[in-house]
Structure 1
Amino acid sequence: MKNRRNNMIILGAVVVLIAIAAYVIFLRQPVTEATQLGLDLSGGVSVTMEGYRTDGTPVTREEMETAAGVISQRVDRLGVTEPEIQIQGEDQIVVNIPGITDAEQAVEVIGRTAQLGFYPVLAADFQQAVPEGEVYQVREEIQNRLENDPAYEEGETKILFEVSESRTGEGMDVIGYVLPEQPALTGAGLERAFLDRDEAGRLRVGMELNNEGAREFGDLTQQIVSESLARGTPGQLAIVLDEEVVSAPTVNEPIYGGQVVIENTGLPGGLPQDEARELEVVLNTGALPINMEVLQVSTIGPTLGADSLRAGLTAALVGFGLVLLFLLFIYRALGVVADLALLIYAFLLWGLIVAIPITVTLPGIAGIVLAIGVAADANIVIFERIREEVRRGKTTRTAIQIGYQKGFRAILDGNITTLIAAFILFALSSGQVRGFAVLLTLGVLLSMFTAVAVTRALLGVISSRGIQLSPAAMGVRKDAIEAPPKTPGPAGVR
Structure 2
Amino acid sequence: MSSSIRNRLILIAILVLGSIIALIPRNRVERISVNGVLSDVTVRRVPLKLGLDLQGGMHLELGLDESQKVSTDPERDIELALTILRKRMDEFGVTEPLVQLSGSDRIVVELAGITEPGRAKDIVTKNAFLEFRLTDKTNALDAALPAMDRALGQLGVTLGADVAPSGVAAILGGKSNDSAAVDSTGAAVAPVGRLLQDMIQPSAGPGGSTPGEYMVSEAAYLRVDSLINLPAVQRAWPRGYDLRWSRVAEAVGAEQVRYLYVLEEEPMITGQNLTSAAAQIDPLNNQPMVVFELDRAGARRFGTETSRHTGDFMAIVLDGRVQGRPPVINSRIDRRGQITLGNQSIQQAQDLALTLEAGALPVPLKVLKQGTVGPTLGADSIRNGITAGLVGTLLVVLIMIGYYRFAGVLAVIGLGMYLLFTLGVLATLEATLTLPGLAGLVLSIGIAVDANVLIFERIREELALGKTPRLAADEGFHRAMNAIIDSNVSTIITALLLFQFGTGPVRGFAVTLIVGTLASMVSAIFVVRTFFLLWLSRRTTTAELSI
Is the contact between residue 69 and residue 363 of structure 2 (CA under 8 Å) also seen in structure 1?
A: no
Is the contact between residue 25 and residue 354 of structure 1 (CA under 8 Å) also seen in structure 2?
A: no
Quick one: structure 1 residues 85 and 394, their matched pair in 2 at CA, closer, same or farther if it must change by over 3 Å?
Answer: same
> Aligned letter for 2:88?
R
Alignment of 1:411-450 (within 5 A): 411-450=484-523
> Aligned letter for 1:305?
G
What's 1:212 paired with? Answer: 297
CA distance in structure 1 between the aligned counterparts of 2:385 and 2:400, rounded to whole angstroms: 23
What's 2:131 paired with? Answer: 117
What's 1:189 paired with? Answer: 273
Select which of 37, 58, 69 maps to 1:45.
58
- Any gaps of 5 or more consecutive residues in structure 1? 124-136, 167-171, 229-234, 475-494
Quick one: structure 1 residues 395 and 26, their matched pair in 2 at CA, closer, same or farther if it must change by over 3 Å?
Answer: farther
CA distance in structure 1 between the aligned counterparts of 2:458 and 2:27, rounded to whole angstroms: 39
1:79 aligns with 2:93: yes
> Aligned letter for 2:333?
I
- Look up the SS of the partner of 2:201 in the other structure: helix
1:315 aligns with 2:392: no
Quick one: structure 1 residues 450 and 159, their matched pair in 2 at CA, closer, same or farther if it must change by over 3 Å?
Answer: same
**Number of positions where the alignment pairs a residue of Structure 1 with one of Structure 2:** 442
What's 2:306 paired with? Answer: 221
The Cα of 1:339 is off from its aligned counterpart by 0.8
What's 1:255 paired with? Answer: 333
The Cα of 1:78 is off from its aligned counterpart by 2.0
- Look up the SS of the partner of 1:119 in the other structure: strand
> Aligned letter for 1:335?
G
TM-score normalised by L of structure 1: 0.75
Quick one: structure 1 residues 342 and 195, their matched pair in 2 at CA, closer, same or farther if it must change by over 3 Å?
Answer: farther
Is the contact between residue 59 and residue 111 of structure 2 (CA under 8 Å) also seen in structure 1?
A: yes
The Cα of 1:113 is off from its aligned counterpart by 1.2
What's 1:67 paired with? Answer: 81
1:144 aligns with 2:201: yes
CA distance in structure 2 between the aligned counterparts of 1:90 and 1:21, rounded to whole angstroms: 36
The Cα of 1:375 is off from its aligned counterpart by 1.7
What's 1:408 paired with? Answer: 481
Is the contact between residue 18 and residue 344 of structure 1 (CA under 8 Å) also seen in structure 2?
A: no
> Aligned letter for 2:473?
I
The Cα of 1:439 is off from its aligned counterpart by 1.4
What's 1:283 paired with? Answer: 356
Root-mean-square deviation over aligned CA pairs: 4.1
CA distance in structure 2 between the aligned counterparts of 1:80 and 1:40, rounded to whole angstroms: 15
Quick one: structure 1 residues 61 and 391, their matched pair in 2 at CA, closer, same or farther if it must change by over 3 Å?
Answer: same
CA distance in structure 1 between the aligned counterparts of 2:434 and 2:105, rounded to whole angstroms: 27
1:20 aligns with 2:21: yes
Select which of 292, 298, 316 maps to 1:239.
316
Q: Deviations over 1:335-380 (max 9, x none)?
A: 1111112122223323443443322222212111122122222222
The Cα of 1:197 is off from its aligned counterpart by 7.3
The Cα of 1:57 is off from its aligned counterpart by 5.3
What's 1:363 paired with? Answer: 436
> Aligned letter for 1:219?
T
Is the contact between residue 10 and residue 453 of structure 1 (CA under 8 Å) also seen in structure 2?
A: no
- Any gaps of 5 or more consecutive residues in structure 2? 29-41, 138-165, 173-199, 214-236
Quick one: structure 1 residues 176 and 2, their matched pair in 2 at CA, closer, same or farther if it must change by over 3 Å?
Answer: same
Select which of 442, 455, 464 maps to 1:391.
464
What's 1:8 paired with? Answer: 9
CA distance in structure 2 between the aligned counterparts of 1:350 and 1:25, rounded to whole angstroms: 15
The Cα of 1:96 is off from its aligned counterpart by 3.8
CA distance in structure 2 between the aligned counterparts of 1:180 and 1:468, rounded to whole angstroms: 98
Percent sequence identity over matched residues?
36
Is the contact between residue 247 and residue 323 of structure 2 (CA under 8 Å) also seen in structure 1?
A: yes
> Aligned letter for 2:54?
L
> Aligned letter for 1:215?
R
